[in-house]
Amino acid sequence: MSIPAPAIASFQPPRRTLMGPGPSDVPRRILDAMVRPTIGHLDPAFTDMMEQTKTLLRYAFQTENKLTFPVSGPGSVGMETCFVNLVEPGDKVIVCVNGVFGGRMVENVKRCGGVAVLVEDPWGRAVDADKVAAAFAAHPDAKILAFVHAETSTGAQSDAAALAAIAKRHGALVLLDCVTSLGGTPVLLDQWGIDAAYSGSQKCLSCTPGLSPVSFSEAAIRRVRARKTPVQSWFMDLNLVLGYWSGEGKRTYHHTAPINPLYGLHEALVMLAEEGLEAAWARHRAMHEALKAGLEELGLSFVVPEGERLPQLNSVTFPAGIDDAAARGHLLNDFNLEIGAGLGVLAGKIWRIGLMGASARRENVDICLRALRAVLG
């Protein structure tokens, strides 16, 4: 075929302010890192950078886990990596569902041939620890507890320490989605006793999408090694990926690592280490307080009760009579501002305003409030 006229030329994206559920604003410094020369993925210079990335990720996750590395793929691939390796056919998994991403965990368990035991809570609320304890009492043979720390579809944060402690009392592994929490609110894998965790590059780490940091405890690795059935995914089989990422002895080819995106993640993690985790958490909290004051002044109310709210994802109901799509279109076209729409049962009912990573700054809060003031009249 021939290229249709007018000829397709280089793509020039518009400049936006990203305040949705991810991706967040990517700092210039990270984009600059990504345009550095591409080298081979088995080049010693590249493997040295990978070792640094693993060290930086251990800091971000607050873990000593040796098996901590970025999966080549978005957060969803990190999620599947955790489930396909840890769930064998017939395994019972207690899954907490209080929004879209908990629902995806259920889907993963089923596709692995596992039996999902659901612990359901209303959208917009944290996971209820009493219900999790009751589920373990009813299903003492459950092998894994899986839950979402920061439910991006609603803006609710669950008490990961309390939920993990229940699972530990029953000898179950804990599988955590911390895609939206990593870098924005405390994620303390070792202190909480998390066995498998996955995150994403484009939320509070403020990198471009496409990489998923994961971490596995020794107990999780033992579970993978003791499987009776092979992991059904060749690409995500940790036994194979380990040959490339383990850093023990010679690295063997598994798949071609996404070289330049990994430069970006390395830079994002260097920036996080320079700022310090505590300072990053405090910044997200402070920007949330500033945004919250302005949103309430505009008459918008929060979906999630105080105390269960994520600072980096602010869900608010908008006034009756406002056309959801038109209002968000107005924000995008006239203010170059992206905010998120509601998902699932909250579609058409709420807006989700992200303050993730580099987007959690005063300038963005001001841009957002000014734009909303104009749109809401």
Ligand X SMILES: *Cc1c(COP(=O)(O)O)cnc(C)c1O
Distance, in Å, from the CA atom of 336 to the CA atom of 367, rounded to the nearest integer, reads 10
341 binds ligand X (CB under 6 A): no
In the structure encoding, which two tokens stand for residue 93, read together?
């998994």
Element of type H or E holding 92: strand 92-97
Residue 79 C-beta: closest distance to ligand X, Å: 6
Site for ligand X in 34-93 (CB under 6 A): 74-76, 79
Residue 377 C-beta: closest distance to ligand X, Å: 31
Q: Residue length, the chain?
A: 377
Site for ligand X in 84-113 (CB under 6 A): 101
Of the two residues 133 and 213, which places its CB atom closer to ligand X in the complex? 213
Q: Which residue is nearest to ligand X (CB)?
A: 75
Helix 277-297 and helix 362-376: axis angle, to 10°? 20
Burial class of 230 by CB neighbour count within 10 A (0 to 12, 13 to 18, 19+): exposed
200 binds ligand X (CB under 6 A): yes
CA dihedral of residues 13, 14, 18, 22 (deg, nearest 10): -20
> Which span sits near ligand X by CB under 6 A: 12-20, 35-43, 110-118, 177-185?
177-185
How many residues bind to ligand X according to rule CB under 6 A? 14
22 binds ligand X (CB under 6 A): yes
Of the two residues 86 and 148, which places its CB atom closer to ligand X in the complex? 148
Residue 83 C-beta: closest distance to ligand X, Å: 12
Site map for ligand X, 283-302, x if CB under 6 A?
A: --------------------
Residue 289 C-beta: closest distance to ligand X, Å: 22
Binding residue for ligand X, selected from 98, 108, 152, 208, defined by CB under 6 A: 152
Burial class of 363 by CB neighbour count within 10 A (0 to 12, 13 to 18, 19+): exposed
Q: How far is CA 137 from CA 126, 176, 223, 267, in A?
A: 20, 21, 23, 45
Query: 3-state class of 212 per DSSP?
Result: strand
Site residues (vs ligand X, CB under 6 A): 22, 74-76, 79, 101, 148, 150, 152, 177, 179-180, 200, 209
